[in-house]
Structure 1
């Protein structure tokens, strides 16, 4: 039954994306200001389909830690689900994502219109400067910036190497950094066709105390993830690599 449900959901997701992608053409041409709300409708329908078809519920703890204005959400990344759910959990979301996604037919142009932040994988210092400029713009627009510091999806219970892009963004902008832990990979795994029924938990922690000294930010995120996982019954984390800034890659984190 789980396999059948997964087949139905994946068909639903493909048809929904195709139909809404085509229907977005007039929005792109005539009312681009509606792009974000349109994209939020698409993700809302996707998450609703995930619940009705695959039996996956979402429970969120710690919403009280979200500030009223702009912030940086330092999220664990275990599943494609993570790239969808924040569209409807905050008022004005913007994701830091790899630039290749903007080249997807129908979807890519909408990502740009909604104000997402594309980053070149091998852009080096130039990409980092563009990231900081985009952070400034997002702050001025009162956007909530979602970033996955590991830069790739990791299995539940594992922490990948954190890239220093978020440390640079926090130190540059002064925005609060909200750590976010999840167990989404237990129900929608990395590149997984099968979606397992159950409850995905998302836990937000209080803002990090250190957001001005780059060297302290990445270790603080890791510690916060470990604490949130332990205190909320999520898979206990194993730090597979050294996450100090000095041992991190220079490229910013991407989806």
Structure 2
């Protein structure tokens, strides 16, 4: 049954993405203001397919820590493609820090730019950091909620990797608090995994960490992640 569900979900999600990717051309050409609502709709439909077909219950705790329509820094664990979808629905004006190569994906890439995402070429070193801070300033001025995955890549549940310093630079630069988020999404929708599993998928949102210097913030984020993981371990 799990195999059949996975095949059905992957096929339907691909077809939905293809149809909505083609359907996005009028938005890209004539209605830029509809880009974010259109992307939110796509995310909502994909996640509904995931939950309904794969038998996944998404349980979110701590949403009260997102009670703002203004700028925010969100430092989330990253285990799955799920993590890149759910934030489209949890905050009003999401802006993801993402790998620069994603903007070159046919159909999807141009929409990412129109929706206000922040593509960063990490191989550019110091220049990438300058661009990140410049893009951060723009997002903050527009009142966006910035989502960054400090691990830098998708990791397996329970896997710990050194955090990238970008979030610390952003927090120091903006003096905004950082909201830590833990998840177990990789148990149900793994990295590059064709097969999906049923169960209760948790997204645990922690209390904001006040502005801190770079040396202190990264260990604080990891500490909060470990505490949040206890909610679903």
- TM-score tier, shorter chain, comes to over 0.9
Q: Residue 36 of structure 1 corresponds to which residue in structure 2?
A: 36
Structure 2 residue matching 1:122: 3-state secondary structure: helix
For structure 2, the residue ranges without an aligned partner over 5 or more in a row are none
Q: Residue 17 of structure 1 corresponds to which residue in structure 2?
A: 17
Q: CA deviation at 1:212?
A: 3.4
1:54 matched to 2:54: yes
Between the aligned partners of 2:194 and 2:122, the Cα distance in structure 1 is 26
Q: Residue 90 of structure 1 corresponds to which residue in structure 2?
A: 91
Q: CA deviation at 1:121?
A: 2.2
Structure 2 residue matching 1:199: 3-state secondary structure: strand
Between the aligned partners of 2:119 and 2:15, the Cα distance in structure 1 is 25
TM, length-normalised to structure 2: 0.98
Q: Residue 247 of structure 1 corresponds to which residue in structure 2?
A: none
Q: Residue 232 of structure 2 corresponds to which residue in structure 1?
A: 233
Q: CA deviation at 1:199?
A: 1.3
Q: CA deviation at 1:136?
A: 0.7
Query: CA RMSD for the aligned pairs?
Result: 0.8
Structure 1 residue matching 2:122: 3-state secondary structure: coil
**How do residues 1-255 of structure 1 correspond to structure 2 at under 5 angstroms?**
1-68=1-68, 69-209=70-210, 211-230=211-230, 232-234=231-233
Between the aligned partners of 1:7 and 1:169, the Cα distance in structure 2 is 40
Deviations 1:83-137 (A, max 9, x none): 1111011111010000100000000000000000000020111110110011111
Q: Which of the pair is proportionally richer in helix?
A: 2
Q: CA deviation at 1:33?
A: 1.0
Between the aligned partners of 1:215 and 1:107, the Cα distance in structure 2 is 36
Deviations 1:149-193 (A, max 9, x none): 000111111221100000000000111100000110111111111
| The 10-residue stretch of structure 1 (67-76 or 219-228) with the greater mean CA deviation from structure 2 | 67-76
TM, length-normalised to structure 1: 0.89
Structure 1 runs of 4+ off > 6 angstroms? none
Between the aligned partners of 1:20 and 1:192, the Cα distance in structure 2 is 23
Deviations 1:195-222 (A, max 9, x none): 101111000110113x231111100000
